[in-house]
Amino acid sequence: MQNKYEVLEVVGEGAYGIVYKCRNKETNKFVAIKKFKEVEDEIVKKTMKRELRMLQRMHHSNIVDFIEAFKRKGNLFISCLRICRKKSFRTSTRKSSWIGA
């Protein structure tokens, strides 16, 4: 990670990477940082780039706010605002009829 973030914990892991809960050392704000796994597959690389482009372009209250993207040691990182506690996420998704119902 960059020197400006302190990694606090792993929030989750998926097919393309790991999401960390971090604290910005300058602002004290909590952020989510996604570290993409190193891949050789060109289709996966395109998917990762598409996700980054979409986050940069989209601005909506139901989508996390993009802060920045950076590369370290060959890995792509995306920093976004909004950390959701597991309990509140589960509570909010149970109320939504369209998620896994």
Q: pLDDT tens for residues 29-73?
A: 888 888 888 878 888 888 888 888 888 888 877 777 888 888 887
Residue 58's alpha-carbon distances to 10, 24, 30, 32, 47, in angstroms, are: 25, 22, 20, 17, 16
Domains defined for the chain, CATH in brackets: 5-88 (3.30.200.20)
Residue 3's alpha-carbon distances to 6, 26, 57, 77, 85, in angstroms, are: 8, 10, 26, 13, 25
- Per-residue burial over 55-77, b if 16 or more Cβ lie within 10 Å, else e, is beeeeeeeebebeebeeeeeebb
Q: Which residues of 1-101 form beta strands (DSSP E)? A: 5-13, 17-24, 30-36, 66-72, 75-81
pLDDT at 44: 81
Q: Give the pair of three-digit tokens for residue 81.
A: 């605002």
Q: Give the pair of three-digit tokens for residue 88.
A: 């509140």
Higher local confidence (pLDDT), 86 or 73 = 73
d(CA 76, CA 45): 10
- Write down the pTM of the prediction: 0.69
Are the CB atoms for 66 and 77 separated by under 8 Å? no
